[in-house]
Structure 1
Amino acid sequence: MEHCELPRRPGRLDRLRQALPRLFPFLGWWPQVNRRTFKADLWAGLTGAVIVLPQGVAFAAIAGLPPEYGLYAAMVPVVVAALFGSSFHLISGPTTTASLVIFANVSQLAAPGTAEYLHLVLALTLLAGVVKLGLGLARLGGMVNFVSHSVVTGFMAGAAILIATSQLGHFFGLALPRGGSFLETWGALLGQLSAANPWVVAVGAATLACAVVIRRINPRAPALLLAMVAGSLLSLALDGPAHGIALVGALPASLPPLSLPWFDLDTLRTLVPGAVAVAMLGLAEAVSIARAVATRSGQAIDNSQEFIGQGLANIVGSFFSAYATSGSFTRTGVNYDAGGKTPLAAVFSSGFLAAILLLVAPLTAYLPIASMAGVILLVAAGLISVPAIRHIVRTDRGEAGVLAATFLATLFVELQFAIYAGVILSLLLYLRRTSHPHFITLAPDPASPHRALVNIRRSPQAECPQLKILRLDGSIFFGAVNHIAEELHRIVAQSPEQCHILILGSGINFIDAGGCHMLFHEAGAMKLSGREIFFCSLKSEVMELLRRGGCLARIGAGNVFKDKSTAISGIVARLDPERCACCHLRVFDECRARPGGEDVE
């Protein structure tokens, strides 16, 4: 006798195996690592390590910290964010935005550069990480879905121009004012352009041209890294320092020291608002960058997992002398363009940066800042997606307006408000669309089988003199009830002879209490005016709410039909027979059974 084997219930080991990739995301992509991806990530990591050298120093200065702290922020947090995030290409680290927000919040509490200032920065970083981690564990990453593609595209284009603008002084060898607005920087550039250093311009332009040529010849080659090497050799051949070509300079040969963030209750109250601002801005920035790169790579992004990765990166980083980090526009673009395949590129970047500081720090002194500027200009140009912009402009004027507003806000308003402005505009556009559902007038098409109902605007057809057929495309909720009622009154006023109105509800996804109240009132008002309103093809959820709200009783159970064919059959039988006898249109098949219908072939 054969025995049926019952399915085995998953044991603790099976549940553990299923949970591990969720707890440790790097276990999910690690099997994809092979010799090809390892080599590509190695080159991308080396390129990213060289790119972050001057950036880290500059960002630390903006944050009011010693230069080495910008480099510390590009080591441990980068690894943690890469291992626990979901993006294959996002590179975290110090950013202009985070540096500015930190300086704005902490400089009011302590003098920049002091030990107290450093302690407060690390404490704020820890708090910001806790906020990010909490949002991620609560699976609130979906709130970033309100950042539409138009917002991301406009923000990226604006940020690319800001990045390029910030490098123009280095590219032309000019001392432009720091911290100036977009217009101020360009005004200063145009005013000093005649004083540009031709030697600096030659090195920057040669580096840029070299990167472009290498990409054309061999797209897989580390064009950015090779271009920077070529720029360094050119600077040596020209005796760059003697002609005013600034170099990156020697960097401190030290790894991030351990630190212990601390704060008392009063300090906590003071830092929490700033920490929330840093956290929200950093999350929006990181996820926007991850999504923007994912549109090019075709990868799916888990927003909540990115929140977790960013939160852990800030928490762990605060114990390794790293201040608040987020996704980096420039380094992420460099990582993707340099051929990075997996998050190992971020790990290699951190390792190479540490090795550079420990082993070859003196050699970095020969890297011209103009070469860095040339490479960053090329990367910035790649962040502007012309096809995406063209598609949005051609497809939807509303979304084109959101894109333009986000782009302009990025350039002319504080950066942290640019995404918020785009999100608010996107929500307003969405609310406007959902609060203005459309009534489509339908009529039978005699040329189609079974006289299918068609939109009379697209295909003009005769309507029944007594029955108006409408399809409502949109849900009936509190924000739309006034518009729906006004549209219904307008249609009734334009067709006073059509005493019956049939509404096809297949496009009504939901109805709330406000919508139920409106239908209750309109059904009663139509009955008082000698009209009747009918419904068909309503979803079960809508029917249930109409029943609970008493609206179904006011409309009448006999006025609600399962589908349109049943509705037309039932309503035609209730039309005025005298008017039917005089009608020669006979738009419905059911009209043949009405008085006078036997005379129509």
Structure 2
Amino acid sequence: MNKVSPDSLRADLFAGFSNAAIVVPQGVAFATIAGLPPEYGLYTAMITAVVAALWGSSMVMISGPTTAISALLFATLQDLAVPGSAEFIQLALLLTVMVGVFQMLAGIARLGGLVSFVSHSVMTAFTAAAAVLIGVSQLAGALGLHVEGGGNVLERLIRVGEAISETNMSSTIVAAVSLISVVILQTYAKRSPGFLIALILGAAVAYAMGGAEAGIAMVGELPSAFPIFAPPTENLNKLADLAPAASAIALVGLLEAISIGRAFAVRRHEKFDANQEMIGQGLSNTVGGFFQCYAGSGSFTRSGVNAEGGAQTPLAGVFASMFLALILLLFAPLIKFIPVPAMAGLILFVAWRLIDRKELHHVITTSRPETVILVLTLGAGLFIELDFAIYVGVIASFAVFIYESSHPSIVVSAPAVTKSGRRKFRNADTHKIPECPQIVSIRIDGPLYFGSVDHVEEEWDKFRAARPNQTHVIFYLKGFGKIDLAGADFLIRHIREIRAAGGSFRIVALFPPLLQSLRRFHVIEEIGEDHLHISKGEALDAATKELNNDICANCKKRVFTECADLPGGNKA
């Protein structure tokens, strides 16, 4: 909250007010998906958002009911009780408390660090897939169509396509007015409450065209009741039965929230603490379960509206809940006049702005592994399910991490003259740099462990086959941090091989933990302290003293500055 200022308060108030208007139909829709009465979606949007905003880590993410969790909750409980019944509601609230406890325990255990292994491309693709899904889900409302909800992007598009002949032009015009209005306002009047103004304009146009009589869908009347403290004390005998589902929903909720939080943090250049967000999400669900809320998480739609509305701090989420309560208290009778197409137009704009086209292009044009991750995640989000896309992205990220760690870069380097006149070691093969006939300098960038030894062995064999006479080896491990018993065995085996061929083997290493590992695995004992160096220069100086002077006398390459002191050199 250290960023709170008069300017940020004004921005957060505007964003919170716009967000409160957006969440009314959304909360009703998600509660219906979950098999709960409509008011439970609003309770969740109200309570969960406040707790998660105050205890989470994201500056702009808004929590509340989500599509994925609503669907998971319904699928979990539909066989245990009749959807909408008192027992179903009690099970949903009990499940929500369990979800919150699991999430808080994960945060306290600091499992958020595991998210660091998830590629940034997963976040970019997940954001894009969610934006497309959100946009496609609004097409029916914008066109005035009555189609079945749910499903992936392709399934939703097919349903819209099959019903396209039933398009209501009045609804389409209302959606277009709201969409065009918000585009203009967000482009040329960014400090104005563009979403609210666009919503009012859309409602005015709908009213002028006849409203519901013209076939324009309205949000409809909603109960104005507020959540009360109601601990879910019933069905405690079903805790064991609910535990597997609670853990699954907890995981999906955390992945959603962390993915959304990190995506916005990256875009806005802000810090994000996954562990703190886990605790915030867990606390919001735990508290929410005692106040008639069902399981929630970060909402892409509400977070997008919040960010586009100019939110600066988590107070925007608190204000959104306060305004939502105020709307239900003072304007509940007027809510029924909000046109669904106007809401759809605004959300279409949010969906478009959520897609980071520059970052998508950057990933595709710069990294093949990241592109694979991006395509797999995006494809799963578009054509399977959004929550499944997270799993696909996580698995793909770990697969790429494992592949890259098992394929460290290993190159032969040699000194080349730079533009400044200094000599700097470069990749000898890539830059076609002359090499010393007797010394080969090999650098490995990455871990030397059981997973990478086979790859390093293959590269070593290639280097040795191409350079049979370069029997004095400088193995450069500077900046290298990981070696295990398999890596140590590799070094010992080739130290002995090189010495048997009449050469010498020197290791350049500086990192203290690496030196400890080399001693523990007896590598230094094998090579000798005098063949362990802290710099290439020191290693070269020692290696040149063991060269065959007859070869040096006839050598014209003079690769190293030390060559000047050898037979045939300028100082010889």
- Asked if Structure 1 and Structure 2 have the same fold, meaning a TM-score greater than 0.5 normalized by the shorter chain, the answer is yes
Does 2:271 match 1:271? no
Count of aligned pairs: 571
Structure 2 residue identity aligned to 1:165: V
Structure-2 change in CA distance of 1:62 and 1:550 (3 Å): same
1:583 — aligned with what? 555
Task: Report the counterpart of residue 477 of structure 2 in structure 1.
Answer: 505
Change (3 A) 1:441 1:33: closer
String of CA shifts for 1:428-487, please: whole Å, max 9, x gaps.
212222211222222234788675433324543322211112222222122111111221
Shift of residue 278 of structure 1? 1.1
Q: Deviations over 1:385-411 (max 9, x none)?
A: 111111112221221221111111111
Q: CA deviation at 1:116?
A: 1.3
Q: Secondary structure at the match of 1:73?
A: helix
Deviation at 1:521, TM superposition (A): 2.0
How far apart, in 2, do the equivalents of 1:215 and 1:444 lie? 55
- Kindly tell me: are residues 34 and 589 of structure 1, through their superposed partners in 2, closer, same or farther at Cα, counting changes over 3 Å? closer
Question: CA–CA distance in 2 between the matches of 1:451 and 1:295?
Answer: 38
The Cα offsets for residues 213-241 of structure 1, whole Å up to 9 and x where unpaired, read as 22233111111111111111111111121
Matched to 2:342, the amino acid is S
CA deviation vs aligned residue, 1:132-175 (integer Å, no higher than 9, x gap): 11122223222222232211110010011111111111111111
Aligned to 1:171: 142
Name whichever of 63-72 and 397-406 sits farther off: 397-406
- Amino acid of the structure 2 residue aligned with 1:455: N
8 Å Cα contact 2:509-2:515 kept in structure 1: no
TM-score of the pair, normalised by structure 2: 0.95
**Which residues of 2 match residues 91-490 of structure 1 at below 5 A?**
91-262=62-233, 266-445=237-416, 451-490=423-462
| Residue of 511, 516, 521 corresponding to 2:493 | 521
Change (3 A) 1:564 1:313: same
**Distance across 1 between alignment mates of 2:563 and 2:312:** 68
Distance in 1 (alpha carbons) for counterparts of 2:404 and 2:383: 28
| Aligned residue among 528, 548, 551 for 2:520 | 548
CA distance in 2 between counterparts of 1:243 and 1:124 reads 42
- What SS does the aligned partner of 2:138 have? helix
Distance 2:111 2:13 in 1: 34
Provide Cα deviations, 1:167-218, integer angstroms capped at 9, x if missing partner. Answer: 1111111111222332222112222212211111111111111111222331
Conserved? CA contact 2:36–2:84, under 8 Å? yes
Structure 1 264/565 Cα, relative in aligned 2: closer, same or farther at 3 Å? same
Q: Structure 1: which 5+ residue stretches go unaligned?
A: 1-27
Q: Name the counterpart of 1:558.
A: 530
Change beyond 3 A, Cα 1:39–1:595: closer
* Preserved contact between residue 285 and residue 294 of structure 2 (Cα < 8 Å): yes
Q: Is the 8 A contact 2:23 2:45 kept in 1?
A: yes
**Counterparts of 2:190 and 2:252, CA distance in 1:** 34
Q: Secondary structure, in 3 states, of the residue corresponding to 1:453? A: strand
Distance 1:320 1:170 in 2: 31
8 A Cα contact 1:147 1:419, kept in partner: no
Q: 1:101 to 1:594 in 2, by over 3 A?
A: same
SS state at 2:336 partner: helix
Distance 2:209 2:555 in 1: 96
What's the CA shift for 1:352?
1.7
Deviations 1:306-330 (A, max 9, x none): 1111111111111110000111101
- Say yes or no: does 1:567 pair with 2:539: yes
Rounded to whole Å, the distance in 2 between the matches of 1:444 and 1:356 is 72
Structure 1: distance between partners of 2:349 and 2:558: 69
TM-score (norm 1): 0.91
Q: SS of 1:366's equivalent?
A: coil
CA RMSD of aligned residues (A): 2.0
The Cα offsets for residues 526-547 of structure 1, whole Å up to 9 and x where unpaired, read as 3334443221244232222112
Partner SS state of residue 260, structure 2: helix
Partners of 1:214 and 1:596 lie apart in 2 by 78
Separation (CA, whole Å) in 2 of partners of 1:110 and 1:528: 77
| Deviation, structure 1 residue 299 | 2.1
- Say whether the 8 Å CA contact 2:407–2:452 is kept in structure 1: yes
Confirm or deny: 8 A CA contact 1:446 1:587 kept in the other structure: no
Contact 2:91/2:235, CA 8 A, preserved across alignment: no
Determine what percentage of the aligned residue pairs are the same residue: 43
1:549-581, CA deviations, whole angstroms, 9 ceiling, x for partnerless residues? 112222233322332222222212112233333
SS at match of 2:481: coil
Of 259-268 and 175-184, deviating more is 259-268
The answer to whether the 8 A contact 2:41-2:293 is kept is yes
SS of structure 1 residue aligned to 2:313: coil
Distance 1:592 1:415 in 2: 65
1:588 shift after superposition: 3.1
Assess if the C-alpha contact under 8 Å between 1:471 and 1:507 holds in 2: no
CA distance in 2 between counterparts of 1:294 and 1:136 reads 19
Structure 2 gaps of 5+ residues are: none
Shift of 1:331: 0.6
